[in-house]
Structure 1
Amino acid sequence: MGANWPAVYARGLRVTDMAVTALVVAIAYFGRFGMDSNSIAAQVPPFEYAAISLLILILWNADLALFRTRERQVLGAGATEYKRVMQSALRSFGLLAIIMVVFQLDVVRGFFAIALPLGMALLVLARWLWRRWIARQRAVGGYLSNAVVLGSTDDVRYVISQLQANLSTGYRVAGVAVTSLDLDTEIDQSWYRVPVHSNLADIARVIRLSEADTVIVAGNLPGGPRTIQELGWRLGDLATELVLASSLTNVAGPRVHFRPVEGLPLMHVEMPQYSGGKHVYKRVADVFLSSMALLVLAPLLLVLGIVVRLDSSGPALFHQERIGRNGETFKMIKFRSMVVDADAQLEKLAGSNQGAGLLFKMAADPRITKCGRWMRKFSFDELPQFWNVLVGNMSLVGPRPPLATEVAQYQAPTHRRLLIKPGITGLWQINGRSNLAWDEAVRLDLYYVENWSLTGDLIILWRTAKAVCASEGAY
């Protein structure tokens, strides 16, 4: 596809957006008036609503274009694209409501009640389907921008490894320009088939050889900000995009705010929030969603409980002491997936541990019951933890709840995992579960603790369903 893929992709999004908004407006128009047999619309729909429908269509699509919902930087990854799409719908309907008030036009509320939520849902769904499509294209090397990574050897190595592991960013590492290269530098797997062309002085030649349209600066450059400024000028002349890889590797975008000051632009990093208003909203969401889950899943929970009792002797539920927020202990509930004397057998199995770090895991643990194997595979054994969420011991999303023996061996800064409630699912759940190295699991948990958001929680919950179906790392 080459460097022109963002324009081609954005064109496809534009066509889809227009089709979705037209469908939504048509459904709201005919659905609202078609259901009202007493209205004149039952025979001939009123002209003013046809005009309003057309106005919504124009405003909505203009807003989607003007407020950068199809901008290259937000396509394919992250929550920003979804946020902008939903904000566009709210803005368009809000502006229309103002117009209606100013011109004293009488609007049937049912029209808005149908069009707004349906439009938001369908637009987000359409964007998600497009993301699934472009993810498949990128997996086979399509719809990627060629990028040159510039910086010191260590910084370049880190950026290369992250870009190669996250093709959703949309970059293919086509070349490297290093500012320092020690004789004892180890060239590991991340450098495989990545050409090292030259250095900063030859950046124009590097761009030409690699056919890149982006230069990613990894870490600091010799000469500091002045060098980056001059590099930006040179890349502007070459029609090449400049991307700075932030050294704040564990700080999410929403916590970073830029304050324009002449001659000294300031970047503010918000303090992590471990309590306060955001956590009240999180608790409200936990109570609502967990109560709904328990209500809907009640028949399944009853069946699973009977299966566990029939499969092996012992209770259906397993209560285990775990460490929650601020080190408080609580009883975590699960369906019993092991024999009743599993803890007594642990010592003789210690030599077969396949877990990461402080965790004990075995892919073929002999203590697991027959039904326990398939329940663990699809995380059915975790379903009773919705009760822990409802009563406030846990959250739907958060770090995994540790055992007291694990916490006793924590080293700084691992204790920071305990600053918020543990969760049924989290970043560890959607990134490999038991297959994760201990250090990586800790890094993901600490990243979540400091950067969580309600939008991020919804995305994690969505991705959890996919992870559970794939059953990767579930043992």
Structure 2
Amino acid sequence: MAWEDTPEVTTSLRPSTTSGVHRRGRHRARIPESIEIIPTHNGVPRSGLFKARRASTWHRPYRLGLLVLDYGAAALASFTASQYDKSDAGFNSQTLLVLVEYLYLPLAWIIVLWAHGAYDRRYLGHGADEFKRVVRAAVTMTALVAFVAFSTVTNLSRVTVGIAIVSALVYLLIGRYFARRFLIVARGRGRARNRLLLVGTLPEALEVYTAVSRAPGAGMMPIGIRLTEGYVNTRGLTTPVPVFVGREVMSLVRELGADTIAVCGSASNEPGELRRLAWQLEGTGIDLVVAPQLTDIAGPRVHIRPVEGLPLLHVEEPTLAGLAWLFKNFMDRLMSGLLLLLMSPLFLLIALAIKLSDRGPVFFRQSRVGREGKTFRVWKFRTMYTDAEERLAHLVEQNETDGLLFKIRNDPRITPVGRFLRASSLDELPQLINVLFGDMSLVGPRPLPADDGDFLGDVRRRLLVRPGMTGLWQVSGRSELSWDDAVRLDLYYVDNWSLAFDLLILWRTIGVVLARKGAY
């Protein structure tokens, strides 16, 4: 930790205006004879053609790579569609057909993707917005092709057009996915990151630091904290990045080489100061982000509603009802029934292996707490010896987790077959029975034992939805998480549920299961 002190300490976003004045006020500040109205060092450029270059430049080569990938994906989609239709597709010239398939259509895809913001640096590399914009571009391309075919009276094969659009969407999403994986690897090596200067009180800045550190894929690397207040009570504390007191923001940005300023918590509640900081940053290429005191609330629930120039953040209630919720319940029953039929041979093999290992029962059933506090009996393949419950009292002191959980990395009660089942997550498959009966969902908070307390405080909120076979905690570390982190992730899921969020968790579950991350 490094501290930077100056004789004058300012507790606002403004640089100190008492330069040259003694602390006890013995000398008056010199009053300037004139005031410069138009700043010369910054400000909005006079022409949009000569905007200042961004201090952060990682997105430029990445965007160029996406352009090449997207063009190739669209051209490959045209080739795929052409294999299903060997006709001239309504074109009189073979040369014209080739130009349409491998030049005009790919360029049209690039233009539509650009128009939908699929190359906007704010959405690249993190979150689902990038993929949503690609899907919207596919819808626009469908309408555009239909309009062109209708207006030019071109006889196009509907099957061919459908194959071209769908295959282009699939290829684009696959290309973007692998491009993002490449970017995440690069960020893990310290590249393609935004250098972040946090401005605010120390608790607020550390909260933002913890949040961005939990998502390395977002590419934000805090490099310093500039305190706005509370500096007296924070001296001597250990911090993960240097802390500065009383420094002028712009000079600190230049010294640290920051390309982004994050105004945290209560510091963002000073509209005049925040506006003046934004003015200072105009024309410098430095990004300004604001982290309000709204933690663990996802973007779809937050809307900005300006009233007389005052930006009001409107926070919507969680969506735990309606057609989307009914569709989730329907898909839970349908998918669980299909998976039980398809996996029945695997169930028989696992049951046979458990029986041959120690002759005990195949299934383990335990009371768990479900939606609205109702208890149910969860189904799992038995992974422990039959006397596991009796041996638990002798192992309590070896517990490696906190809160309501009990986990030991090398639990002696687990059978050899059970160890394999746990590592591969196959022991969870019988919970499909609970999903079919409506006690559980495919995605949701983790189901906890019924005898582990009354779920007081914030923990009770997780009972608003059905527990899930997989969830946000499973794809974020599983048994390696602390109890507080597990509760935080479960509550985040409840507060920000959506069908797209469920699909994202199911997709991430595949990778976590294959990697056997946090399973023991």
Give me the TM-score of the superposition, normalised by structure 2. 0.84
What corresponds to 2:45 in structure 1? none
**Of 166, 171, 176, the match for 2:225:** 176
What corresponds to 2:58 in structure 1? 5
| TM-superposed deviation, 1:49 | 5.7
**Of 233, 243, 247, the match for 2:279:** 233
Distance 1:395 1:31 in 2: 41
The answer to whether the aligner puts 1:412 opposite 2:457 as a matched pair is: yes
What corresponds to 1:158 in structure 2? 207
1:355-374 alignment, distance < 5 Å:
355-374=401-420
Letter of the 2:165 counterpart: L
1:344-390 Cα distance to aligned partner (Å, 9 max, x none): 33233323322321112222222211100111111110011122222
Deviates more, 1:43-52 or 1:169-178: 43-52
| TM-superposed deviation, 1:52 | 5.6
| TM-superposed deviation, 1:112 | 2.3
Distance 2:268 2:61 in 1: 38
1:40-439 alignment, distance < 5 Å:
53=101, 55-185=104-234, 191-192=239-240, 194-199=241-246, 202-221=248-267, 224-406=270-452, 408-439=453-484
Kept in 1: contact 2:196–2:224 (CA 8 A): yes
What corresponds to 2:37 in structure 1? none
| TM-superposed deviation, 1:452 | 1.3
Distance 2:419 2:93 in 1: 60
| TM-superposed deviation, 1:391 | 2.6
| TM-superposed deviation, 1:421 | 0.7
Deviates more, 1:439-448 or 1:344-353: 344-353
Letter of the 2:71 counterpart: M
Distance 1:147 1:431 in 2: 24
Greater helix proportion: 1
Letter of the 2:291 counterpart: A
User: Cα 1:44–1:296, aligned 2, differ >3 Å: closer, same or farther?
Assistant: farther
Distance 1:42 1:217 in 2: 58
Q: How many residues align?
A: 466
What corresponds to 2:72 in structure 1? 19
1:232-264 Cα distance to aligned partner (Å, 9 max, x none): 111114221100113111210111112243323
Per the alignment, in what secondary structure is the counterpart of residue 442 of structure 2?
Answer: strand
Kept in 2: contact 1:399–1:423 (CA 8 A): yes
The answer to whether the aligner puts 1:31 opposite 2:79 as a matched pair is: no
Kept in 1: contact 2:89–2:155 (CA 8 A): no
User: Cα 1:50–1:299, aligned 2, differ >3 Å: closer, same or farther?
Assistant: same
Per the alignment, in what secondary structure is the counterpart of residue 68 of structure 1?
Answer: coil
Deviates more, 1:303-312 or 1:277-286: 277-286
Kept in 2: contact 1:175–1:206 (CA 8 A): no
Question: Structure 1 stretches of 5 or more lacking a match?
Answer: none
| TM-superposed deviation, 1:464 | 1.5
| TM-superposed deviation, 1:274 | 2.1
Kept in 1: contact 2:116–2:136 (CA 8 A): no
Distance 2:346 2:232 in 1: 62
What corresponds to 1:448 in structure 2? 493
| TM-superposed deviation, 1:445 | 0.5
Letter of the 1:157 counterpart: L
Per the alignment, in what secondary structure is the counterpart of residue 282 of structure 2?
Answer: helix
Distance 2:165 2:131 in 1: 15
| TM-superposed deviation, 1:113 | 2.4
Deviates more, 1:256-265 or 1:416-425: 256-265
Q: Is the radius of gyration larger for structure 1 or structure 2?
A: 2
| TM-superposed deviation, 1:400 | 0.5
Distance 1:312 1:288 in 2: 35
What corresponds to 1:466 in structure 2? 511
Letter of the 2:161 counterpart: F
Kept in 1: contact 2:227–2:245 (CA 8 A): yes
Deviates more, 1:452-461 or 1:284-293: 284-293
1:239-297 Cα distance to aligned partner (Å, 9 max, x none): 21100113111210111112243323332211012222221121233234333433433
Give me the TM-score of the superposition, normalised by structure 1. 0.91
Letter of the 2:83 counterpart: G
Kept in 1: contact 2:400–2:406 (CA 8 A): yes
User: Cα 1:285–1:3, aligned 2, differ >3 Å: closer, same or farther?
Assistant: same
Kept in 1: contact 2:71–2:107 (CA 8 A): no
Kept in 1: contact 2:268–2:292 (CA 8 A): no
| TM-superposed deviation, 1:12 | 0.7
Distance 1:74 1:301 in 2: 42
Per the alignment, in what secondary structure is the counterpart of residue 267 of structure 2?
Answer: coil
Superposition CA RMSD, Å: 2.5
| TM-superposed deviation, 1:338 | 1.1
Distance 1:198 1:205 in 2: 13
Bigger relative CO (Cα 8 Å, ≥ 6 apart): 2
Kept in 2: contact 1:21–1:57 (CA 8 A): yes
Per the alignment, in what secondary structure is the counterpart of residue 244 of structure 1?
Answer: strand
Per the alignment, in what secondary structure is the counterpart of residue 465 of structure 1?
Answer: helix
Distance 2:253 2:169 in 1: 41
Kept in 2: contact 1:149–1:216 (CA 8 A): yes
Per the alignment, in what secondary structure is the counterpart of residue 128 of structure 1?
Answer: helix
Letter of the 1:327 counterpart: G
Letter of the 2:419 counterpart: R
Kept in 2: contact 1:325–1:418 (CA 8 A): yes
Per the alignment, in what secondary structure is the counterpart of residue 224 of structure 2?
Answer: strand
| TM-superposed deviation, 1:51 | 6.7
Letter of the 2:208 counterpart: V
| TM-superposed deviation, 1:108 | 1.1
| TM-superposed deviation, 1:40 | 6.4
Deviates more, 1:147-156 or 1:265-274: 265-274
Letter of the 1:24 counterpart: A
